[in-house]
């Protein structure tokens, strides 16, 4: 019989090992799933675990997919450390995409020939404003009316989705686009600077990595960062110290909204090159898993983003190579999060074998 016994102190080792255990469990479930579907598990696993890392192109694609996940999950980690449950990053991401799309559209329609390194920072700004604005609605409703930020942020995802649909089905629709819900393709001057010739990986990846470093400094080296993290686990201690909970609410939501918005702006002017309903990829929701798998730590968020990108790319490959639905990556994401939460029990508890009495 196994019993759980409370540890005297949380285990540091387990907090590092728990994501690895969760990954192993997910691989185990994947093996069983492949076997039960009559597919070769070795082939199936290699599509998920090996091919996304095979070759320069695969690696740059991995970086490309990681970029929005890193940006969004960093903001969410800040929120969750402060006990602000923003789960509507998808909506903030879409608003960033809309703002970035609006900017690119304006530049395209005006026929201005901007150098890419000038457009790039303006696009970041537009995305940040769009996402930040959407998150500000959440902050305002929570601040003024004590509305639950969980519900408000989630509901605003649907509003953002409808807004995007309205724009691409209506005023922003490409008049020569055979009635497809999409804008015109943006001009070359709105493309993001590429990091390698011939690859889609763009400078946004560096921005994401830089943001991770900045977030680490903010969280662990700045007084403001510590203040935000006091309010999460111990609101009474924050009141005692005189740290404002309102300012924590606004700061975390605006920062996470802005980061999600930047991710959205990168997506439309980077890989997509036009605004379509398919901008809504679910990165905002996947990033929630990333943030937790990454232990709400900036470095962890980067590593977990790569891991989850691997699942996303693996899912696409599985469809073409092995003939399995790409929804499989969603299944694996879910299994990973569930097993992570289960393994996290071991951080605070120690399993003990006990002979039945």
State the Cα–Cα distance between residues 33 and 336, nearest whole angstrom.
Answer: 14
Smallest separation (angstroms) from another protein to the CB of 334: 28
Using CB under 8 A as the criterion, which residues of the chain lie in contact with another protein when the complex forms?
7-9, 221-224, 226, 229-230, 233-234, 236-237, 239-244, 357
Smallest separation (angstroms) from another protein to the CB of 229: 8
Largest CA distance in the chain: 82
Q: Which is nearer to another protein, 166 or 240 (CB)?
A: 240
Q: Which is nearer to another protein, 44 or 232 (CB)?
A: 232
Q: Which is nearer to another protein, 6 or 197 (CB)?
A: 6
Smallest separation (angstroms) from another protein to the CB of 302: 23
DSSP letter for 232, please: T
Smallest separation (angstroms) from another protein to the CB of 233: 6
Smallest separation (angstroms) from another protein to the CB of 7: 8
Q: What residues contact residue 334 under an 8 Å CB cut-off, 6+ apart? A: none
Smallest separation (angstroms) from another protein to the CB of 356: 12
State the Cα–Cα distance between residues 247 and 341, nearest whole angstrom.
Answer: 30
Smallest separation (angstroms) from another protein to the CB of 287: 23
Q: Which is nearer to another protein, 38 or 242 (CB)?
A: 242
Q: What residues contact residue 226 under an 8 Å CB cut-off, 6+ apart? A: 219, 220
How far CA 298 is from CA of 26, 77, 125, in Å, comes to 23, 8, 22
What DSSP line would sit under 143-198, residue for residue?
A: HHH---HHHHHHHHHHHHHHHHHHHHHTTT--TTSTT-S--PPPPGGGSPPBSSTT
Q: Which is nearer to another protein, 57 or 246 (CB)?
A: 246
What DSSP line would sit under 268-310, residue for residue?
A: IIIII-S--GGG--SHHHHHHHHHHHTTT-HHHHHHHHHHHHH
Rg for the chain, CA atoms, rounded = 22
Q: Which is nearer to another protein, 57 or 239 (CB)?
A: 239
Q: Which is nearer to another protein, 112 or 237 (CB)?
A: 237
């Amino acid at each position: 019989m196994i019993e759980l016994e409370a540890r005297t102190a949380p285990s540091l080792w387990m907090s590092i090992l728990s994501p690895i255990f969760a990954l192993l469990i997910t691989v185990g479930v994947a093996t069983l799933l492949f076997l039960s579907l009559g597919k070769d598990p070795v082939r199936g696993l290699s599509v998920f675990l090996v091919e996304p890392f095979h070759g320069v192109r695969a690696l740059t694609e991995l970086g490309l997919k990681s970029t929005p996940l890193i940006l969004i999950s960093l903001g969410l980690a800040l929120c969750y450390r402060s006990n602000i449950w923003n789960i509507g990053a998808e909506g903030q991401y879409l608003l960033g995409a809309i703002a970035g799309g609006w900017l690119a559209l304006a530049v395209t329609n005006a026929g201005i020939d901007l150098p890419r390194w000038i457009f790039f920072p303006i696009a970041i700004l537009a995305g940040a404003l769009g996402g930040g604005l959407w998150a500000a609605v959440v902050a305002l409703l929570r601040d003024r009316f004590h509305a639950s930020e969980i519900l408000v942020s989630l509901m605003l995802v649907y509003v953002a989705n409808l807004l995007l649909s309205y724009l691409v089905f209506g005023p922003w629709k490409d008049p020569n686009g055979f009635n497809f819900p999409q804008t015109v393709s943006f001009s070359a001057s709105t493309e993001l600077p590429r990091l390698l010739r011939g690859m889609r990986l763009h400078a946004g990846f560096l921005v994401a990595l830089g943001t991770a470093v900045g977030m680490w400094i903010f969280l662990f080296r700045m007084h403001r960062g510590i203040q935000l993290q006091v309010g999460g686990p111990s609101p009474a201690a924050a009141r005692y110290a005189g740290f404002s909970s309102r300012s924590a609410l606004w700061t975390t939501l605006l920062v996470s909204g802005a980061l999600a918005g930047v991710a959205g702006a990168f997506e439309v002017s980077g890989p997509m090159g036009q605004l379509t309903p398919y901008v809504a990829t679910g990165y905002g929701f996947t990033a929630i898993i990333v943030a937790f798998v990454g232990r709400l730590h900036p470095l962890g968020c980067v590593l977990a983003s790569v891991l989850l990108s691997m699942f996303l790319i693996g899912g696409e490959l599985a469809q073409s190579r092995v003939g399995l639905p790409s929804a499989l990556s969603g299944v694996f994401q879910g299994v990973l999060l569930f097993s992570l939460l289960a393994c996290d029990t071991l951080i605070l508890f120690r399993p003990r074998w006990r002979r039945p009495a």
